[in-house]
Amino acid sequence: MAAVAAIYDELKALGVEVLSMSTDSRFVHKIWQEQELSKMVEGGVPFPMLSDAGGKIGTIYGVYDENAGVDIRGRFIIDPNFVIRAMEVLTPEVGRNPKELLRQIKAFQHVMETGEVTPSGWEPGGSTLQPGPDLVGRVWEVWKP
């Protein structure tokens, strides 16, 4: 979570609010913030830390491991219309890549604003595609990996 906190200013600039969630209680979240996170990131994590005691919320998001009794690593991007745009679920040993999170948010914001679509590996400023009958069979002309 400290890695997400480290890019929080960039997320805020994109109009994003972060919510973190584990099966720990709100009391444990507070002490984790004070004892450890505040020493990893100046001021600690700035976003609400939610408790999913019992795993009911993780269950409807498909991330609750009922054998371990915890929510595994899962990240969901939800747009202003309350629609889930992306989900990424990992087994616990591998951490997330915050840069990929930023890339996906920028891509989804771009397509919502322009109606264009972004090809594989798109970065802001990169070429986009105009979906439509004229593009069928001709993607090779405008995009190569």
Partner 1 sequence: MPKTPQGCVEPAAGPLVPSSAPPTNTTTPSFVPQEDTMQARVGKEAPDFEASAFVPGEGFKNVKLSDYKGQWIVLCFYPGDFTFV
Nearer to partner 1 by Cβ, of 83 and 136: the residue is: 83
Q: CB of residue 137 vs partner 1: minimum separation in angstroms?
A: 26
Nearer to partner 1 by Cβ, of 45 and 128: the residue is: 45
CA nearest neighbour of 86 among 64, 108, 59: 108
Angle at 90 between CA 120 and CA 107, to 5 degrees: 30
Nearer to partner 1 by Cβ, of 85 and 119: the residue is: 85
Q: CB of residue 90 vs partner 1: minimum separation in angstroms?
A: 9
Nearer to partner 1 by Cβ, of 22 and 128: the residue is: 22
Q: CB of residue 134 vs partner 1: minimum separation in angstroms?
A: 25
Alpha carbon distance 135, 141 (integer Å): 9
| Residue 23 and residue 52 in contact, taking contact as beta carbons nearer than 8 Å | yes
Question: By the criterion CB under 8 A, which residues form the site for partner 1?
Answer: 1, 4, 11, 14-33, 36, 44-54, 56-63, 68, 70-80, 82-87, 92-96, 101, 105, 109
CA nearest neighbour of 73 among 50, 54, 45, 96: 96
Q: CB of residue 3 vs partner 1: minimum separation in angstroms?
A: 9
Alpha carbon distance 88, 73 (integer Å): 8
Q: CB of residue 68 vs partner 1: minimum separation in angstroms?
A: 8
- Dihedral, CA atoms, 26, 52, 33, 30, nearest 10 degrees? 0
Nearer to partner 1 by Cβ, of 91 and 123: the residue is: 91
